[in-house]
Amino acid sequence: MGGGPNKPELVINGKRTDGRDFNELRPIKIIASPLANANGSAYLEWGNNKVMCGVYGPKEANPRHLADATQAVIKCRYMMAPFSSLSEHGRTGPNRRATEISKVVKEVFENVVMTKEYPGSQIEVYIEILQGDGGTRVAGVAAAAIALATSGIPMKDLPYAVSVGRIGEHLAVDFNMIEDNYSDSDMPMAIAPRNNEILLLQMDGDMTKQQILEAVQMGIDAGPQIVEIQRKALKAAYEASTTK
């Protein structure tokens, strides 16, 4: 995590760089099923993050030798657009970071999607980061959950995701780009709100055991706000079409 002589001041007068409290989220806006040609889709703005997500399937597994006769295979592609962020992230094509995030996001949805209902098929999740400002993988998971729900694929739960971390002695939720780069530790996590099951937990930097437990609790406490926005977005997509 960040250090060096150019490290900016991350806590000013007890507030963070963008004026937020330590347990305050950035504003979130979600539009459910904006795309006509995908089976399910979602557009999400989380602070300055802009994410588009599309879901296809269930369809025939390709290549065929990857098909599983007992359950559906989930494929996930996380990709940052060339104009999304710093040039090193925007290189076209998969890189080490995109491959890793695709894998962890895939594992999130393997635990919630009822894959046993579609044996021999494949479900594709595409997450495109149009603009990145810290915490894109959690924004991606939150968007992909909405996209999967709008595609009608049976799921156990509607997961949400949030990043937590440590700035000096303070613990905080929802890091932006500067905090992501220069804080002491950051920990993205995805949670199933039904039973607070943790589906994704990664960590950069260092925290003590006590701090990790507290940080996880902060993420769970922030959950209801995100879930509320996700649910409202899904319902709004159908209520809007009634009034037309």
State the minimum distance, in angstroms, from the CB of residue 53 to another protein: 15
State the minimum distance, in angstroms, from the CB of residue 37 to another protein: 11
Q: Which of 154, 137, 139, 167 is nearest to 8 (CA)?
A: 167
State the minimum distance, in angstroms, from the CB of residue 123 to another protein: 10
**What residues form DSSP beta bridges with 15?**
12
State the minimum distance, in angstroms, from the CB of residue 23 to another protein: 24
Residue type, 215: A
Full 3-state SS string of 138-194 = HHHHHHHHHHHHHCCCCECCCCEEEEEEEECCEEEECCCHHHHHHCCEEEEEEEECC
Q: How far is CA 210 from the centre of its chain?
A: 25
Nearer to another protein, 57 or 140 (CB): 57
State the minimum distance, in angstroms, from the CB of residue 230 to another protein: 8
Distance CA 70, CA 132 (A): 37
State the minimum distance, in angstroms, from the CB of residue 136 to another protein: 24
Nearer to another protein, 145 or 189 (CB): 145
Do residues 158 and 130 touch, judged by C-beta distance below 8 A?
no
Nearer to another protein, 150 or 163 (CB): 150
Residues that bind another protein (CB under 8 A): 33, 39-40, 57-60, 112, 114, 118-121, 149-158, 192-194, 231, 234-235, 238, 241-242, 244
Nearer to another protein, 160 or 175 (CB): 160
Nearer to another protein, 80 or 234 (CB): 234
Widest Cα–Cα separation across the chain: 59
Full 3-state SS string of 191-223 = EECCCCEEEEECCEECCCHHHHHHHHHHHHHHH
Q: Six-digit token pair at 132?
A: 């990145």
Q: Six-digit token pair at 33?
A: 């099923």
Instruction: Give the end-to-end CA distance of the chain in Å, rounded to a whole number.
Output: 50
Nearer to another protein, 2 or 34 (CB): 34
Nearer to another protein, 92 or 241 (CB): 241
Do residues 168 and 11 touch, judged by C-beta distance below 8 A?
yes
State the minimum distance, in angstroms, from the CB of residue 222 to another protein: 18
